[in-house]
Amino acid sequence: MIERVEGDVTSPLGFLAAGVHCGIKPHRRDLALIVSEVPASAAGLFTTNRVKAAPVRYCEEVIRAGMAQAIVVNSGNANACTGPQGLRDAYEMAELTARSLGIPRSLVLVCSTGVIGTPLPMDALRRGIPLAARALERDGKAAAEAILTTDAFPKVAAARVHLPDGVVTVGGMAKGAGMIHPQLATTLAFLTTDAALSSGRLREALERAADASFNRITVDGDTSTNDSLIALANGRSGRSCEEGEAFWAFTEALTWVAQELAKMVVRDGEGAERLVRVEVTGAQDDSEARRAAYAVATSLLVKTMLHGAEPNWGRVLAAVGRAGVEMDEASTRIWFGPVEVVRDGVGNKEVLEAAAEALRQPEVTIRVDLGVGSGAWHVWTCDLGETYVRINGSYIT
Q: Which residue type occupies 180?
A: I
The one catalytic residue among 113, 149, 169, 186: 186
Q: Which residue type occupies 104?
A: P
Q: Is 10 a catalytic residue?
A: no
Q: 278: closest CA among 253, 295, 264, 297?
A: 297
Q: 20: closest CA among 133, 164, 113?
A: 133
* Torsion, CA 96, CA 189, CA 113, CA 388, rounded to 10: -160
State the DSSP code for 309: T
The rounded distance, in Å, linking the Cα atoms of 26 and 174 is: 22
- The answer to whether 218 touches 267, Cβ cutoff 8 Å, is no
Q: Tell me the helix, strand and coil percentages in the chain, rounded to 5.
A: 35, 30, 35
The rounded distance, in Å, linking the Cα atoms of 276 and 255 is: 19
The rounded distance, in Å, linking the Cα atoms of 279 and 290 is: 9
CA 230, 234, 235, 236 dihedral sign is negative
Residue-wise DSSP of 211-244: HTTGGGB-SSS---SS-EEEEEE--TT--B-SSH
| C-beta atoms surrounding 351 within 10 Å | 18
Q: Is 393 exposed, middle or buried (0-12, 13-18, 19+ CB in 10 A)?
A: exposed
Residue 380 forms beta bridges with which residues? 217, 277
Q: Is 80 helix (H, G, I), strand (E, B) or coil?
A: coil
Stated as kind and residue range, the H or E segment containing 74 is strand 67-77
- The answer to whether 195 touches 237, Cβ cutoff 8 Å, is yes
- The answer to whether 278 touches 354, Cβ cutoff 8 Å, is no
Catalytic residues: 186
